[in-house]
Amino acid sequence: MERAEDEDEARGMPRVVIVGGGFGGLHVAKKLRRAEVEVCLVDRENFHLFQPLLYQVATAGLQAGDIASPIRAVLRRQDNTKVIKGEVHDIDRKERRVFFEHGEIDYDYLVLAAGMQTNYFGNDEWRKLAPGLKTLGDGLECRRRILEAFEQAEWTDDDDLAEALLTFVIVGAGPTGVEMAGAISEIAHEVMVRDFRNIDSSKARVVLVDADSRVLSAYHDETSEQAKRDLEAMGVEVVLDSMVKDITDEGVHVGDRFIRSHTVIWAAGVAASPLGATLDAELDNAGRVVVGPNLSLADDDRVFVIGDLAHAAGEDGEALPGLAPVAIQQGIHTARNIRRRLKGKEYRPFIYRDKGQMATLGRARAVAEIGKQRFSGFLAWMLWLFIHLLFLVGFRNRLFVLLDWFYAYVGMRRSSRLIVETPESYQQERQAERRQKALESAEGEIAVFDDEELSEKELHRRAEERSGGE
């Protein structure tokens, strides 16, 4: 294993290693631009993802490039900053060293901002059947499944199959689930109603399921009830107080009922990155790292944990929510504390300034809470648009997103309705099915073959030969 840089003695400046290029990690790096430190940001991806708008990629409202910016481009003007593409798998606090697949790197200060991952609550076999919505790959896979369902329903002669294909189940009625349900309903009932010849997309069924008694349970009761009314007005079936018991190829077992569906989206929960456990520090029940008032570890003030991975207590003593504004404020505060320490000053405690929360449900429909004020409808939707444009990284991204939203609002269209191939883990079963059907159509019977010996191209060639000889 090789060192990513020279030893500490040869560096000349303290090194700050940031793990994670999300909201928190990126803001730490940006706020250390003029500090007398060497900054190394490590992320397994080469881009910063604006996760709050990931559902719009999943529902064909935006392109992937609209919500992702190359980290190197964002930090290109920072001469004291280096970007390393790699996945960190271990941290040695005693040696002050971070290990990733390409090597290792020492640190003087460590900022862990690795975020969260989809949580299936011990039912990992559901992962292939119900993709989550945490990564860009997840968003593209959800989009593929949603659009593919309409395409398959268009050509099938089986009414029962068409009904299952046009039934979309979203598990989890938090902000992500609510926004997904509203967007899918809008696509089916308004955007694509004139695009097909054999099916009526407006008859598509969108079901939002949650074990809680309310949608948007973190919001005020009135806001939650307004969101539920808006969703139902858009044609979404809201099923509450119902726990998902099983997910199969044919559908979802919810409570004592079975919903036939070929497209299930999981938005029911998240789990902490396993990287937090390598710190050998106190963890909460969700696997988040418990940090002190200044966001550092109780027994190591050179290690900070911020963002979704941190259990940082708010003024009420409860853990702060995993929201982008929390991560951004924590990132800025951590950078300032590091700069204070370099000047021989003490750390200052972190105080979160709650700027509210909001969720969009569809065209001109949203809910928002800012302080004690609650908004809904067009005003809340305009607030939502403005805030999300403000937080997007890069002028190009803001401009393109604004144009796409204008196009969608005026023309009731979705600009990114492209079905693209996604990671191999999602595609293996589909590829095998296509190969099998190619042989069945040519021979009229099920053929058995070895995937490793026959390529898809070869299978189609043989099928054509057989077809031509009949």
Of 103, 125, 127, nearest in space to 42 by CA: 103
Classify each residue of 280-299 as buried b or exposed e, where b means 16 or more C-beta atoms within 10 Å of its C-beta. Answer: ebeeeebbbbbbbebbbbee
Whether 93 contacts 245, CB under 8 Å: no
Which position has the token pair 């693209």?
420
Tally of CB atoms within 10 A around 377? 15
DSSP letter assigned to residue 51? G
Tally of CB atoms within 10 A around 464? 12
* Residue 223 CB-density burial (10 A; 0-12 exposed, 13-18 middle, 19+ buried): buried
Tally of CB atoms within 10 A around 250? 13
Dig out the tokens for 117 from the structure. 């991952």
* CA dihedral (174, 177, 182, 183) positive or negative: positive
Dist CA 222 CA 236 (whole Å) = 19
Please say if 179 is a catalytic residue: yes
Q: Which residues, in sequence order, are CB contacts of 240 under 8 Å at separation 6+?
A: 173, 210, 212, 213, 214, 215
Query: Which DSSP string do the residues of 191-249 spell out, in sequence order?
Result: ISTTS-SS--GGG-EEEEE-SSSSSSTTS-HHHHHHHHHHHHHTTEEEE-S--EEEE-S
Active-site annotation holder among 179, 222, 225, 433: 179
Residues belonging to the active site = 179
